[in-house]
Amino acid sequence: MSDSTSKTQQISLGKGLNLGLRRALEDDPKVLLMGEDIGKLGGVFRVTDGLQKDFGDSRVIDTPLAESGIVGTAVGLALSGYRPVVEIQFDGFVYPAFDQIVTQVAKMRARALGKVSMPIVIRIPFGGGIGAVEHHSESPEAYFAMTAGLRVVAASNPVDAYWMIQQAIASDDPVVFFEPKRRYWDKAELDPTATPYPLYASRVVREGTDATLVAYGPMVKTCLEAAAAAAEEGRSLEVIDLRTLSPLDLEPVYASVRKTGRLITVHEASVFMGMGAEVAAKVTEKCFYSLEAPVLRVGAPHTPYPPSRVEEEFLPDLDRVLDAVDRAFAY
């Protein structure tokens, strides 16, 4: 609990990002923010609220509606010594910039034989659950995670949002930074004097002994809720927040599966060719003799995102996670 002498404060995930961006702007004059409506408006989700007012329109820059141009400009700025942070307003808008990201941002360091770095952060609000229209609720993370040269991370809570955005900006590698838009308003206690958890590391967020749930971004909270519900029925579920999708930090997952014998991967993206498939393959290879059941995957069907009035039927929820747990125990 916060009190008058404590340095901790109650913040939302969106506020955590705002505070992290503010601190990065204060610490390094080479940090620039770029995106559509991020200045005077403060962003669609108000993540950049107040930053242009305090740091000026030469460091918090409103751009035209041209995602390819925004990322292409960021490439030039990075080559000139800046650390641009690009906001893609919604997940489905990133595709016009896809060519710049996978052919320029991802490959520049290798193309230059390591002689240049590409310290760009590309922030992407992702996932559904807010009743938005087409192109506003997608989960494109696998496209970027399979692209060599990119780092890809996903924050799931306010404290991680605060620290991870600063760590991403400080990185000399390009980072695609996914933000779960339906969790922007979730709150937690932040201690800004604490030692941050490493950026490219997964984390056990609830310990358990009977089965392991692996998730990232918005589904971490769903898995924690599922674990709480399962506990009432006598099942102990361990929950792991991947946090980093490329590189994948699976050592905590291997250790968990060797303890529990069962694994369920959970994400909003389609099960087909999703991140859960890579986790399942790796765990099957490394932990085959520890598994009591096949690795099961929970995710969306392989169809375009539906109209918002039926998105709750499309998105994984607590019941679908618990159903997968039941199936894992049925073997």
List the catalytic residues: 136
What lies within 8 Å, CB to CB, of 96 at 6+ separation is: 66, 67, 68
Question: Which amino acid is present at 298?
Answer: V
Question: Which amino acid is present at 179?
Answer: E
Dihedral of the alpha carbons of 251, 257, 263, 266, in degrees to the nearest 10? -30
Contact 97, 140 (CB under 8 A): no
Q: Can you tell me the distance from the alpha carbon of 141 to that of 119, in angstroms, rounded to the nearest whole number?
A: 19
Give SS3 for 118.
coil
Contact 276, 299 (CB under 8 A): yes
Contact 128, 305 (CB under 8 A): yes
CB atoms inside a 10 Å sphere around CB 28? 14
